[in-house]
Each structure stands twice: as C-alpha cells, then as structure tokens.
Amino acid sequence: MRAITIPEPGGPDALVWAEVPDPEPGPGEVVVHVRASAVNRADLLQRQGHYPPPPGAPAYPGLECSGVIGAIGADVTGWAVGQEVCALLAGGGYAERVAVPAGQLLPVPDGVGLVDAAALPEVACTVWSNVVRLAGLAKGETLLVHGGGSGIGTFAVQLGTALGATVVVTARSAKHERLRELGAAHAIDYREQDFVEEVRRVTDGRGADVILDIMGASYLARNVAALATGGRLVVIGMQGGRKAELDLGALLAKRASVAATALRSRPLAEKAAIVAGVREQVWPLVADGAVRPVVDRRLPMAEAADAHRLVESNDHVGKVLLTVD
Ligand SMILES: NC(=O)c1ccc[n+]([C@@H]2O[C@H](COP(=O)([O-])OP(=O)(O)OC[C@H]3O[C@@H](n4cnc5c(N)ncnc54)[C@H](OP(=O)(O)O)[C@@H]3O)[C@@H](O)[C@H]2O)c1
C-alpha cells in the first residue's frame, strides 16, 4: 500500500507519498481501507519532528479516517468486512490502509457521506470528552470556544449550541459570519477586541461557565479572568506556549477549576469509553442534522503537503480532508 511517510522532519514537502508494507489486523483490531483522513494541528507538529506517535502506533500521520473494513483480527465482534466506518486513530490515517483497535471504530452517521465522515472522529471525541464529560457543560450555560474557526472550534460551536448553551467564540473576523451560521451567539476578533471584556459584556458580567482553550500559556490569566463563578477551564492546546503563572487566589475566589488533557496518548480502554460516549450522545445529533461535519476542502492524499500549507496559514474554516480513490 501507499502512505504519507516523513523520511526527514521538516516543512510541508517533508511529506512523501510512498510504498510501505500493508498493516495486518492484530487481536482486537480491524484493517480499514481508507477513503479519507483529515489534517489535525498535531500532524503539523509530527511532520516537524515534535510530536512522535505513541508506542505501538503507526509511524505515519493521521489521527482519524473513514473507509471500509477490509479485514478483521481475532476477538473482534460487532463489525463486519465491507462495513463503512470512521475511526479515531493514534496515527496512520494518511495511508491506503490502517489497523484500528475495534473500540475506536464508529459507524458512519446517518446523512453523512463516507468521505466527510473522516472530519468527525477526532473533533467529536476531543470536544465531547472535554466539554461534556469533563467540564459538564449544561443547558443555559455559556461556553467560550477559542479558535472557533478551527476543526475543533467549528465542532464545539455546534455541539454547545445543540446542547442548549450560549456559545461565544474567538476568531479572526473573516470567519465570524460562518461561525454565526453554525450557532455562535457572539464572535470576538481576538486581534481587535479584549475577549475578557467582551465575554463579561455579553454575559452581563457573569463570565463563561466553560472555556475550551487551544492557546495555553498566552491565554491562561485572561481565561481565568473570563471564567464565571464555578467556571471550568479546559486547556487542550498550547499554541500560545506551555508555561505561565496561575493566580490560585483568582481561581479560589471563583471556586473555578483548570484542567488540561490530551486524547492521543490515552490508554485504549479510555479511548474506547470516549468513542462509546460519542456514539451514544453525539451521533444522534449528527444524524438529526444539529451537528454537521464542517469541511473546508477535500484534496487527494498525495497532495498532503498543500493541505498542510493551508492549515498552517489558518485560512481554513473547519476541516481539511485528504482523500484516497
Ligand atoms: N488535547 C487534545 O486532545 C487535542 C485534540 C485535538 C486538537 N487539539 C488542539 O486543538 C487545537 C485546534 O486543533 P485543530 O486541528 O482543530 O486546529 P486548526 O484547524 O489548525 O485551527 C487552529 C486555529 O487556531 C486559531 N488561532 C490562532 N491564534 C489564535 C488566537 N490567538 N486566539 C484564538 N484562536 C487562534 C486559528 O484561527 P484564526 O484564523 O481565527 O486565528 C485557527 O482556526 C490545536 O491547538 C490542537 O493541538 C488538542
């Protein structure tokens, strides 16, 4: 089969579409014939040599895929050869075939095409596990989503809205109209406006109940300032650095909490539990159209370098997909 390999870490042209050995399904795994994968921010870091795959994961990038089950390993029940699926991966999605632990498979939701289903697993699992399972977002609360135009952000806007929250986003203003269409009640241009002031203004001074943050250090103090009493800040990205000072007094006065999580390195059983929760709670929202895949562009897998350039530019809204014919 062919896969996107990284012979030497570097810029987008470090991605090379090359012949590699076929994967075999181990016990508890299936092999998926990939129809599409999606570019995640983490893939850019992996390409640069900063985010190696966890032990046991395929060497190729790609944290999610859609496709058709081609082979089934020992001890797998409930899945059949020929079934259309999408999957959360620890790596290897940028390939014609990938071995997947069966607990990370999801059916293609009703009403979603096989290619576009590749836009869902990573964002659905990340957003649901952090915003719903960990932070416990409730109906009527305010959710602040940083980077509303990202793959993660466009999904969080829709899920938060579908759950009855008021969603506020930060994003460049060129993306605001699209984010309002997806359900955002307020959009803040973080380059022109102070998001703490804006969040306070639109919540009558209360602040955000839940914040989904991708910036890390550069936003930590302002995120704590933007939290409501009892607020929950969940950091999932460090685009603004990893080390910052945390004012525990400010947190304590608000009885607020800060958490930081990563999905890729979790044990298989935890990933399977998240995937099961997504299937039960999120897939019905996708099937009834309340939450949709947001696809900026579909490019052939061999053009992965161009897809990375696009994601690096931040000019995309939602997901950039890589397809295999
Ligand atoms: N921990 C986990 O398990 C996990 C899982 C998945 C993703 N993530 C993280 O989630 C983040 C989003 O991932 P993705 O693949 O969806 O990213 P993406 O589509 O590449 O989007 C990145 C976004 O960052 C925004 N941005 C840049 N500077 C900003 C700032 N100062 N304030 C607000 N937004 C800013 C850009 O929007 P503008 O054009 O508006 O600037 C862009 O939309 C990444 O940091 C990724 O590492 C974490």
Burial-class residue 275 by CB neighbours within 10 Å (0-12, 13-18, 19+). buried
pLDDT band at 239 (very low <50, low <70, confident <90, very high): very high
Give pLDDT, residue 276: 98
The CA distance from 38 to 297, in Å, is 10
Is residue 195 predicted with pLDDT exceeding 90? yes
Looking at residue 129, what DSSP letter applies? Answer: I
pLDDT band at 217 (very low <50, low <70, confident <90, very high): very high
Measured in angstroms, how far is the CA atom of residue 214 from the centroid of ligand 1? 5
Give pLDDT, residue 56: 87
**Which stretches of the chain are DSSP H helices?**
41-47, 121-127, 151-162, 176-181, 195-202, 220-226, 248-254, 268-281, 283-287, 304-313
| SS3 state of residue 1 | coil
The CA distance from 58 to 288, in Å, is 34
62 phi, psi to nearest 5 deg: 120, 100
- CB half-sphere exposure, 48, CA atoms < 13 A: 10
Question: How would you list the strands of the sheet with 208-213, edge to edge?
Answer: 186-188, 166-170, 142-146, 208-213, 227-235, 257-260
* Cα separations in angstroms, 98 against 4, 146, 239, 274: 12, 32, 29, 20
Residue for token digits 């987008």? Answer: 12
Q: What mean pLDDT, rounded, does the chain reach?
A: 97
Residues 19-69: tens digit of each pLDDT: 999 999 999 999 999 999 999 999 999 999 999 998 889 999 999 999 999
11 Cβ neighbours under 8 A, 6+ residues apart: 47
The CA distance from 63 to 48, in Å, is 16
- CB within 6 Å of ligand 1 — which residues? 40-42, 122, 126, 146-147, 149-152, 170-172, 175, 190, 214-215, 236-237, 239, 261-263, 311, 314
Measured in angstroms, how far is the CA atom of residue 217 from the centroid of ligand 1? 14
Q: What is the DSSP pairing of strand 208-213 with strand 227-235?
A: parallel
Residues 267-281: tens digit of each pLDDT: 999 999 999 999 999
Give pLDDT, residue 15: 98
Measured in angstroms, how far is the CA atom of residue 72 from the centroid of ligand 1? 35
Is residue 193 predicted with pLDDT exceeding 90? yes
Tokens of 78: 């409930």
Is residue 111 predicted with pLDDT exceeding 90? yes
Give pLDDT, residue 208: 98
Q: Are 9 and 84 in contact (CB under 8 A)?
A: no
The CA distance from 295 to 109, in Å, is 16
Q: Are 151 and 118 in contact (CB under 8 A)?
A: no
Measured in angstroms, how far is the CA atom of residue 219 from the centroid of ligand 1? 13
pTM value > 0.85:
yes
Q: Which atom of ligand 1 is nearest to the CA of 264?
A: 3
Q: Is 40 left (phi over 0), alpha (psi -120 to 50) or beta?
A: beta
